[in-house]
Structure 1
Amino acid sequence: MNDSPDAYPSRRGLLGAVAASASAVAVPLLSAERASAAAPVTAPSSSGSGLSLTLLGTNGGPPPLATRYGISSAVVVNGRTYVVDCGRGAVTQYLRAGLSMPSLAGIFLTHLHADHIVDYYAFPMLAAGASGSQGFQEPIDVYGPGPAGISSTVTGAPGPLPGTVGMTRLAGQAYAASPTFFMAEHTGTDPGSLLNVHDVLPPSGTQASAARTAPTMRPFTVMENDDLKVSAVLVPHGAVFPAYAYRFDTDHGSIVFSGDTTPTPNVVTLARGADVLVHEALHPDGLAGLGLPQTLIDHILAGHTDVARLGRIAAEADARTLVATHLSPGQQTAVSDSTWRRLLSDSARDADYGGRMLLGSDLTHFAVRQRGATP
């Protein structure tokens, strides 16, 4: 893409034409490579043009698992990489996927639950000042939820809850020792200097608040550059506010991330005509055998989306393909991959959804093609 003012209208016009042809075109959308436990598939390096999606981690919830990494995904467009959520092991998985740190152009956080942010500050802290393929030498943009407008109840952390900007500042203070020691020896960089952090707040007209977390709304633009346009909507996820779903529109196709959410018309609106909808999935029966307290099970059920609903959501959005991730429970001993695939198939059949329903697994890589593209 070029830097001329006409570049954006041209892209928007193309995307509009793509969406309009949804019912007339039926071609394969994704070429997927699935990783086995013994030999994970390595995604192509972050170079060249086009659009791809790599699921870095697919586990739902904070408890760590040996068989799935924390929730995180990577979108590569025109050789630049954008990470969505930074769950446990995101940095490790980023490198295992064959992605280079110098290609990292941005990070997007859907919400500030631990399983989505625990590896966030590890990106700049571990890469600060590293040379060549080991680090990034210029600031990247970070977009995440702004302050919730409520007070903290955590011991030792009084006052208003921080948003992404405040959280990043506090992380820099908490981990100040390491870069200070490195810089005293004339090596390394202040990790905070490698981030341009932006608090994402919903438009004032939505009248959203911690007491009204996800009113019905139209998508709003979060950022736009020569690679892509990113839009967002609020989604309901228990007490969390703000919590977002994001849409990435490019000349090569579109990808939507639901974030953590219960079924909501906001996601359907955001994902309208999308090439790929990456959606969280919950199997209620799978929770029963985990020995969890009923209060915790009720909490999980109230904040997530039953896999049985995914076919209807994809159909209502006219999304070409749905990829299930943030799997809960993530333990294969509780819900096997074959069971997840059966549940996805049943969901599509029950909703008369004609698109593809794919089960996400760690390090699965997808080359995304827009509607009407040559397979």
Structure 2
Amino acid sequence: MATTPSPADTPISGRHRVAVVGGGSAGISVAARLRRAGVTDITLIEPSDTHWYQPLWTLVGGGQAPLSTTRRPEGSVIPDGVRWVRSRAVAVDAEASTVRLSGGDHLAYEYLVMAPGIQLDWNGVPGLAEAVGHDVVSSNYTPEYAPRTWDLIKRMRSGTAVFTHPATPLKCGGAPQKIAYLAADHWRKQKVLDGIRVILVIPDPAMFKVPAWSHVLEKVAARYGIEVRLRSEMTGVDGDARQLTLTDHSNGTRETIGYDLLHAVPPQSAPDWVKDSPLADSASPQGFVAADKHTLQHPHHDNVFSLGDVANLPTSKTGAAVRKQAPVVTANLLDVMNGRPPSHRYDGYTSCPLVTARDRMLLAEFDYDLNPTPSFPLLDPFKERRTMWAFKRYGLPPIYWRGMLTGRL
């Protein structure tokens, strides 16, 4: 990988063969694979100067990894030969095949790959935007707050700790639970857990969508004495009073709970400009991009593909899902470029590394039909393992940086 030209050196006039919107794991992976396949004239639209490895933010918040290990300069991960336009996409005209950029320019494309990621809607819960990052409220969903989570956990010796999960699709769906387990395990080792009320708020009827893993997580929560509120959601925060409102969607009742630590995960959606675009799926309340769940091709625009968090697919939004989606998008895009129908299929594979203790983890892998699809079939996937924790902490990051982002894995 080499640093690509600066914006001043990057022409955007003319029609580009392939435009990739988003320089996160999904966009970079597809761009790298297209380059390896010999495709030229690829333009990547990404405003950020920093590329983050977000799966480690839970361990940052749990005091198990430094934040510095999760970031690299964006230019260092952009594949050689890919043109980097350091601007923000703000609109797309699918009929004219153009993307409008934040500076007012329009970039024309022959083929479009949509991978702008997901939007954190802090204003989706009244009071949350004002409370997060202040006093005793934090969130591992942004790099500026993740280290703060660990500071709050270390300082806590008694009181009430609340960990919330929004009622929208979200990236890394297991993360709201994982930090609760890491915190509880730390407090147990510090011999203060008995003095802390731990509440885990989950909007779903079960702790995990695959029943076998849900049963294991029920036992994990019970081990720590965690009070699990199913079918419930945080619907308001008063940071000054250190109080939140929980709504039980099974009966509509509301409860005010005081807290001494709040780890809040905001509602999430497609970026606003994507919601307003012709590519948004009308069936998605959050405005995610419409895509055939197997080919990842847009149902109305054959020259558009999407993957990653922005795609409206019935599977969990994880980096592991992107790792399986990127080869399918690449192969099917090449098919379309060569006048053939898409021939590759994505089966919904996703993976949720569920950290259950400071040295234990479950690796939940499954497909669209919720069938377990273990990468290590000789190991019982429903058993917490130290080796799986080590794999997440030390094995997956180099696989990500050196394999996935380079198009090798």
Q: Indicate whether the TM-score tops 0.5.
A: no
Larger gyration radius, structure 1 or structure 2: 2
* Greater RCO, 1 or 2 (C-alpha within 8 Å, sep 6+): 1
In the superposition, the TM-score normalised over structure 2's length comes to 0.28
